[in-house]
Structure 1
Amino acid sequence: MAINERSSGGFQVNRSLLVGGAVLTGIGAVLGAAGAAMVCAALATAGRSWVRSLETAPAAFAQRALREAKVASAAGWEAWRAEHGSPN
C-alpha cells in the first residue's frame, strides 16, 4: 500500500447533520434554562406569599424551638447529674 492512499473503511461523519444536531441541542439547552428560571421564579413568589400569610413568623417559630431545646437540654443535664451524683 502506498503512503498517499486512503483507507475506505474509515469513520466518516455527516457534517451538516452533526452541526444541525449541535445547534438544536444548544437551542434546547437555552430553552430548558429559561424554563427552569421561570419555574424557580414562580415557586419563590408562591413561597413568599405563603410565608406572608402565616399567623406566626418563621423567626418566631425558630426562637421558640431554640428556647425549648435549651430547656430540654438543661433538664436532661440536671437529670443526668442527679442520677450520677456529679457536681459538675
Structure 2
Amino acid sequence: MATNESFFNGFQLNRPLLAGGAVLTGIGAVLSVAGTVMVCAALATAGRNWMRSMDTPPSALAQKAIHDAKVASAAGWEAWRSEHAASPN
C-alpha cells in the first residue's frame, strides 16, 4: 500500500500519478502566465508605438470632443429656452 491508498470502500488513489498530474498542471499554469505576459507586453508596445505615430495626440482629440459636446449642449439649451420663452404657456 505504498503507492495506492484505499479510502471509502475501495476508492484507490494512485499517489505518483496524482503527483505527476499536479506537477504538469503547475508547469502548464506557469507557461500560461508567461504567455499571457508576453502577449500583454507585445500589445502594450504596439499601442505605444501607434500613439506616438498619431498626428494629433489622444489628449488633444479628447479636449476637442469635450469642447464640441459643450458647444452642442449650449446650442441645444439655447434652442430649448428660445422655444419655451416664445410659447404663450
Q: Would you call these one fold, judging by a TM-score over 0.5?
A: yes
Q: Does 1:41 align with 2:14?
A: no
- Counterpart mapping for 1:1-88 below 5 A: 9-85=9-85
| Residue of structure 1 equivalent to 2:3 | none
TM-score (norm 1): 0.84
Question: Amino acid of the residue matched to residue 84 of structure 1?
Answer: H
Separation in structure 2 between the aligned mates of residue 52 and residue 58 of structure 1, nearest angstrom: 10
Separation in structure 2 between the aligned mates of residue 56 and residue 7 of structure 1, nearest angstrom: 69
Local SS of the residue matching 1:85: helix
Local SS of the residue matching 1:55: coil
Structure in which a larger fraction of residues adopt strand: 2
5+ long unaligned stretches in structure 2: 1-5
Aligned residues: 81
TM-score (norm 2): 0.83
Instruction: State the Cα deviation string for residues 28-69 of structure 1 (Å, max 9, x = none).
Output: 000000010000001100110110001111011000000000
Higher relative contact order (CA 8 A, sep 6+): 2
Local SS of the residue matching 2:11: coil
Separation in structure 2 between the aligned mates of residue 75 and residue 10 of structure 1, nearest angstrom: 81
Separation in structure 2 between the aligned mates of residue 38 and residue 18 of structure 1, nearest angstrom: 30
Question: Amino acid of the residue matched to residue 63 of structure 1?
Answer: Q
5+ long unaligned stretches in structure 1: 1-5
Give every structure 1 segment of 4 or more consecutive aligned residues whose post-TM-superposition deviation is greater than 2 Å: 6-10
